[in-house]
Chain A
Amino acid sequence: MSVKDKVVQIIADQGLLDVTDVTLEATLDDLGIDSLGVVESIFAIEEEFDIEVPFNANAPEQSDFDISSVASIVLAVENLVAEQT
């Protein structure tokens, strides 16, 4: 599975959705994922890819990790994975 597919799977699991319902343009809010769900998704991403995600729930917009859409999350995770290898 690609990084994108794995991230989409994690987000789908969090939102209790089918992976086909998770579009790249969607925001987490669109998918019904609240602030606690965001924190849980990031935890799942860290566990899946064995990476550290720089994310402060207190000020998501100021974090280095862009969660504004599914696409931005996929891109951020791809970058973190690439940095690690």
Chain B
Amino acid sequence: MNRVVITGAGTINALGATVPQTLEAMREGRLGIGALDFRDVERLSIKIGGQVHGFDAEAHFDRQKLGLYDRFTQFTLIAAREAVAQSGLTYSDELAETSGVVLGTAAGGMNTWDDNFRSVYEEGKNRVHPFVVPKLMTNAATSHVSIEFNLQGPSLTVSTACASSNHAIGLAFQMVRSGMARTMIAGGSESMLTFGGIKAWEGLRVMSKTACRPFSANRSGMVQGEGAGVFVLETYVDAKARGAGILAEIVGFSMTSDASDIVMPNKDGAARAMRGALRDARMDMSEIGYINAHGTGTAANDKTECAAIVDVFGGHADQLMISSTKSMHGHLIGATGAVELLACVMALRDGVIAPTLGYESADPDCALDVVPNTARDAKVTGVISNAFAFGGMNAVLALKAV
């Protein structure tokens, strides 16, 4: 069994267009959530989100390629370029054949669906662009990463709603650990901030009109974000041999299914996933200093997640720092675990715990140290990152400092 480390990271999200920008925003507790700006937004009752503003796709891609790239693919490629550049890897020959990519997304090319449905239904057009299908398919981003970097090994897209990225990173971790792949690119991307995307979420009535306030008694629901997070995974031995910088070690992964409700979270499913990650990592709970929470800012999630943490960690729960960076960048749905893993890297490598923004009043059902509003300096050597999806699919990653 190989030890698996992260040697590259990339992102674009509402907090920043790179990893350094994003981590700086998390350190400073900056809010990336604001007014949504897209066509027909005035017909929505939810008008805030963690949108990537001022994004100039043509600065990154030539026009011929752009015709094939939905916004979620554009975000993915930008993040992947940053991650691969940091890792220093170039994929050719045997390395190309034994390296692959696993990415998560919930909706895939939602902007492409939205634009083309509008065109044929609302505008009554009878012809759509020939690239609609290759643009919107959920594996488009994965495929374009494989094409751009010449990754010829195991590659697939994972779609488990809000846990997609954690599942993707977990699977890639298992592939490198087992020797199935030499290196893997993993993470996720989402771009659901469209009229149709938000309209669908409005229907569930769990979205906040004002702010994402995880664990705060006056929380009013979730806020959506968009963007991508991508990582380069390889073995510890390879990374050391080539003198690569190591951001963190992934040591455990667990996935469970609640098998109970299509939207309501389940304490036992969440707890089993956290326990499983610790067991897989061969870590004692006392080694964990920080939990990057799923922390959506809905009463159902936050209360259930805190109860599950207390269940798993017992008395040690009071020693843990727990934060939800969704309060800053919004809920990136299928990409959220990937962007949130950056907060885990920051905790392990830089000794800075990202805060839970928007925290205003204590909820007795969430009586844990949620690192309210201000980042904190703290030395932690072990962390876990939670993702609990609609449909009851849970994925938890465990990481260590190297």
**Hey, which bits of chain A sit against chain B, CB under 8 A?**
34-36, 39, 42-43, 52, 55-59
**Residues of chain A contacted by B222 (CB below 8 angstroms):** 58
Known: A35-B264, A36-B262. A55 touches B205 (CB 8 A): yes
Q: For B298, give its contact among A43, A52, A58 (CB under 8 Å).
A: A58
Chain B residue with Cβ nearest A39: B205
**Residues of chain A contacted by B237 (CB below 8 angstroms):** none
Chain A residue with Cβ nearest B208: A58
Nearest 3 pairs of A and B residues by beta carbon:
A58-B221, A57-B205, A58-B298
- Residue picked from B262, B299, B300, most chain A C-beta under 10 Å: B299
Bound state CA distance, A34 and B204, in angstroms?
A: 13
Q: Which of chain B's residues 184-222 have a Cβ closer than 8 Å to chain A? A: 203-206, 208, 219-222
Contact present for A56 and B220 (CB under 8 Å): yes
Known: A58-B220, A58-B298. A43 touches B263 (CB 8 A): no
CB distance from B114 to the nearest CB of A (A): 21
**Hey, which bits of chain B sit against chain A, CB under 8 A?**
45, 203-206, 208, 219-222, 261-264, 298-300
**Residues of chain B contacted by A59 (CB below 8 angstroms):** 219-221, 299
Chain B residue with Cβ nearest A57: B205
Contact present for A39 and B221 (CB under 8 Å): no
Q: For A56, give its contact among B203, B221, B261, B263 (CB under 8 Å).
A: B221
Bound state CA distance, A59 and B45, in angstroms?
A: 17
Q: For B203, give its contact among A34, A35, A43, A52 (CB under 8 Å).
A: A43
CB distance from B189 to the nearest CB of A (A): 26
**Residues of chain A contacted by B203 (CB below 8 angstroms):** 39, 43
CB distance from B391 to the nearest CB of A (A): 13
Chain A residue with Cβ nearest B264: A35
Bound state CA distance, A56 and B207, in angstroms?
A: 8
CB distance from B205 to the nearest CB of A (A): 4
Bound state CA distance, A58 and B207, in angstroms?
A: 8
Bound state CA distance, A57 and B208, in angstroms?
A: 10
**Residues of chain B contacted by A35 (CB below 8 angstroms):** 263-264, 300
CB distance from B376 to the nearest CB of A (A): 27
Bound state CA distance, A36 and B204, in angstroms?
A: 8
Bound state CA distance, A42 and B206, in angstroms?
A: 13
Contact present for B299 and A42 (CB under 8 Å): no
Contact present for A57 and B220 (CB under 8 Å): no
**Residues of chain A contacted by B220 (CB below 8 angstroms):** 56, 58-59
A-B contact pairs, 22 of them (CB 8 A): A34-B264, A35-B263, A36-B262, A36-B263, A36-B264, A39-B204, A39-B205, A42-B205, A43-B203, A52-B45, A55-B205, A56-B208, A56-B220, A56-B221, A57-B205, A58-B205, A58-B206, A58-B219, A58-B220, A58-B299, A59-B220, A59-B221
